[in-house]
Amino acid sequence: MKKRPVVLFFAGCVSGMAAVWNEEIPAAVFYCLGGVIFWGRQILRDRRYLIGLLGMAIGMLLLFAQRHTAEQEIRMVEKKAPKEISGVVLKSSQTERSMAYLIQCQGWDGKLLLYDTSNAKVRTGDWIQAETKVEIQEKAGNPGQFSARNYYFARGIYYRGFAERIYVKGYRKNPLENVLEKSREWMKDQIQEQYSKEEAGLIQGMLLGDKSLMEEEQKDDFKESGLIHLLAVSGLHISLAGRSIYRILRRIGAGFLLSSAAGFFTALYYGMLTGGSVSSIRAVLMLGIYFLSQVLGKNYDLLSSASLAGSLILIRNPLYFGDTGFLLSFCAVIIIGCIGQETGKKKKVWGKVLSRIVFPLKLQMGMLPLMIYLQYETPVFSFLANAAAVPAASVGFAMALAFVWLPPLFLHRWIQAFFWAVLKISQIKYGMITIGQVPLWWVAAGYIVFYLAGKKKVKMPFSVRVGVIYMGILCMTAVPVMRRKTIAFLDVGQGDCMMAETAGGMILADGGSSSVKKTGRYRMLPYLKSRGKQKIKIAVISHMDEDHYSGILELLEMGRIEYLGLPDVPRDTAYESVKTAAEKAGTVIFLLAEGKVIKGADFYLKVLHPPAGSSLEKNAASLVLQGNINGKRILLTGDVEKEGEKELLRKGLKQADILKVAHHGSKNSTSEEFLSLVKPVHAVISCGKENRYGHPHKEVTERILKYNSRIHRTDKEGAVIFW
């Protein structure tokens, strides 16, 4: 490694950024000291490792500088609070319910993503003026939740807005972008004409990186089988396109320079055509280095090439370090560079089959620590899926790209068969293991264990080596085993959701939102996985309002809930839809009413309200649960209002450590009389940011503060978690 200075620099740069990525000072100090000690020890052995320490310092400075610049501009924009923006449309795309325009605003470094539902005729290259409230990209409000801020900041998109009016002021012609846009649309039309809908969605995803035709269930299948990388235009696709042109030209007698130039510009154009993802940029840079080595007659080193590409990307934009695509893409390439692929004598059939399985197994093992850190789980046997699907996908991809210009022919039926096979392989279950959220040192420990276990020559006594491996595995195992139980009130926008870990599994009380779409998939499920769980043991719905059941309905449809408690009240359409989804998923349903009890080894919840068959209005008839979870006295009140609360006062209310404030802090709930009985230590208000109802109402917060309760708000704090 010390003979590869570019690799050392990139490793140092990554270690420096990793050390300071977490903005918590104690963690940053810990990882910085760890990095300095590591590189210092290496320098004592060989001074060439100074390049690694230099890379670490540069990485830290680059990240600090980029963050500082971004924060300065954001503060300036927040201070001005513009109600109107003007700029050039760089890109446009269709979302589920609107058009999204990427705008480079005049005088801003950061770009703005503008959503519009007015059907205004806006083209790429238009100079527009729009009336909109400018917002900063959101941070993740819950553990495990996708961070829009990290994702968009890495792409230089700091702001978002929802257009009230758009005015087109002029047009700046961009011939290249026009050609790219027309090419994309033409290819989409061709793909949808050549193939059936199911396969067309996969082909469009692989060829263009556009997954809009794919169902969410299909995407889940690819993720749970470990084949999600096939749905992104990756280095495999870019390299295949560029190298194919190179090889064809070489075979017909073209020189190295012409063949390399044609191959590189083909890859560059294809990368731009598919949106220029970080994995595409990495592949184009690496392919350019490969072609340069061919022209100069030099040996090509995969690790040095990847490290140079990674260093250039991070120097250009250090915030790419927080991008999942960047981390997984470079991790995969570096592991391939380390383990290599067997070459030499021709193998027999069984030898080829075995190597097809062993290589993805090694790759999966090498990526395991990072995968767990980023996604909390991994399919155990995904190497089998990759061994079967990647060859079929590669052949199908090459043929689909080569014949995309043809009208629909019998040939496309053959190509479709390859993608049909990939879809079927993705639908098989490969044994998902969910570890949950782990610290960065867990990843480092994993790679140390793999290094010591796989490296034949290590300068340490065998007994010490075995001891370090054993201790590393023990420490890694201890993280999920010793994880403390939590009670969490998730940020679901305008809605309610409480998740509590118990000895018997995860308990869920309400889960829905009227302001956040797909809250079950994108907020509740990620939190569940971050806690090392795959399913909800018991879910309870207090009443049938969307902001209390929509996320639970999603989890039911995904088969993620074992038992479901429903209120024993007159049924409506929403009640029947939830009941039908539960029955289809095989979830056991039980009814709850006054006097019923849910209990386990370390929790006890009694239903105080309403009585069975209650005729009260929906909110007033909300289930109210009182009890103890993990040693904390808790009171969950749903949306109970005046009429229901009056009945509740006569039913044995007790003092609570944690009160979930009723109806998102509405003034019609949480009366003085109620608070005088409950006297909560902590009062949690679950509501959406700047919601149209004005929740929580000032009268309620003032009443709660009279009892010296500490108020927690999900719209201000994000998830409220008690340990």
Residue 510's pLDDT is 97
DSSP 516-552: STTHIIIIIHHHHHHTT-SSEEEEE-SSS-HHHHHHH
Confidence of residue 62 (pLDDT cuts 50, 70, 90): very high
Q: Fill in the DSSP letter of residue 301.
A: -
What is the b/e burial string over 661-700, where b = at least 16 CB atoms within 10 angstroms of the residue's CB? Answer: bbbbbbbbbbbeebbeebebebbbbbbbeebeeebbbeeb
Residue 51's pLDDT is 94
More confident residue, 453 or 352: 453
The answer to whether 311 touches 353, Cβ cutoff 8 Å, is no
Return d(Cα 589, Cα 539) in angstroms, integer.
10
Return d(Cα 628, Cα 490) in angstroms, integer.
19
By percentage, how much of the chain surpasses pLDDT 70? 98
H/E stretch holding 644? helix 642-648
**Residue bearing tokens 């011939």:** 175
Q: Evaluate if residue 580 carries a pLDDT over 80.
A: yes
In the chain, what is the straight-line distance between the N-terminal and C-terminal CA atoms, in Å? 44
More confident residue, 628 or 279: 628
Return d(Cα 656, Cα 313) in angstroms, integer.
53
User: Tell me: the pLDDT tens digits for 470-515?
Assistant: 999 999 999 998 899 999 999 999 999 999 999 999 999 999 999 9
More confident residue, 615 or 707: 707
Per-chain mean pLDDT for the chain? 90
Residue 597's pLDDT is 96
Helix-strand-coil split of the chain, %, nearest 5: 55, 15, 30
Confidence of residue 341 (pLDDT cuts 50, 70, 90): low
List of residues 6+ apart from 330 with CB closer than 8 A: 282, 306, 310
Return d(Cα 229, Cα 360) in angstroms, integer.
13
The residue among 92, 96, 97 whose CA lies nearest residue 114 is 92
List of residues 6+ apart from 154 with CB closer than 8 A: 278, 317, 319, 320, 321, 322, 323, 326
List of residues 6+ apart from 716 with CB closer than 8 A: none
User: Tell me: the pLDDT tens digits for 191-221?
Assistant: 999 999 889 999 998 888 888 888 888 989 9
Confidence of residue 451 (pLDDT cuts 50, 70, 90): confident
The residue among 264, 257, 229, 258 whose CA lies nearest residue 243 is 264
Residue 344's pLDDT is 46
Return d(Cα 411, Cα 360) in angstroms, integer.
30
Confidence of residue 547 (pLDDT cuts 50, 70, 90): very high
Query: Across residues 410-414, what is the average pLDDT?
Result: 92
By percentage, how much of the chain surpasses pLDDT 90? 64
Burial label for 163, CB within 10 Å (0-12, 13-18, 19+), is: buried
User: Quick count: other Cβ atoms within 10 Å of Cβ 317?
Assistant: 17
Return d(Cα 164, Cα 118) in angstroms, integer.
8
Its pTM stands at: 0.92
User: Tell me: the pLDDT tens digits for 281-296?
Assistant: 898 999 999 999 888 8
User: Tell me: the pLDDT tens digits for 108-127?
Assistant: 999 999 999 888 888 888 99
Q: Fill in the DSSP letter of residue 709.
A: P
**Residue bearing tokens 């993720």:** 223
Confidence of residue 343 (pLDDT cuts 50, 70, 90): very low
List of residues 6+ apart from 74 with CB closer than 8 A: 110, 136, 158
Query: 505-511 and 536-540 as β-strands: parallel, antiparallel, unpaired?
Result: parallel
Q: Which residues pair with 135 in a beta bridge?
A: 160
Q: Evaluate if residue 245 carries a pLDDT over 70.
A: yes
Backbone angles phi, psi at 106, to 5 degrees: -65, 125
